[in-house]
Amino acid sequence: MLGIWIANYLALLGPSGKHFHTVIVLHLQIYKILIRPVVTYGSETWTLTKSDESLLRIFERKILRKMNGPIQEGDIWRIRDNEELNRSINERVL
């Protein structure tokens, strides 16, 4: 199954590496289908403290920032803030 995802990813990039929006959508699908379930496996039985919840949120934001990349505003590049990341996944955080 992972081979299919990688083949689709490379096909979307094409020879020039364009189709940025489509690649972001694919990254989010990979995150939701592969990464999030692995991280939260067995979470029904976890006893989460506030610090554990905080660590899960930090991990999720770190992954989403890597996948979405920075934003260019004029000549300045900046990382996406938490609200932009939450809007990008259109779901509640972990």
Strands (E), the chain: 71-73, 76-78
Instruction: Please report how many Cα atoms fall inside a 13 Å half-sphere around the Cα of residue 58, on the Cβ side.
Output: 6
Report if pTM > 0.75.
no
pLDDT at position 20 is: 60
Q: What is the pLDDT of residues 33-81, one digit of tens each?
A: 888 888 888 878 888 889 988 888 888 888 888 887 788 888 889 888 8
pLDDT at position 12 is: 58
pLDDT at position 45 is: 85
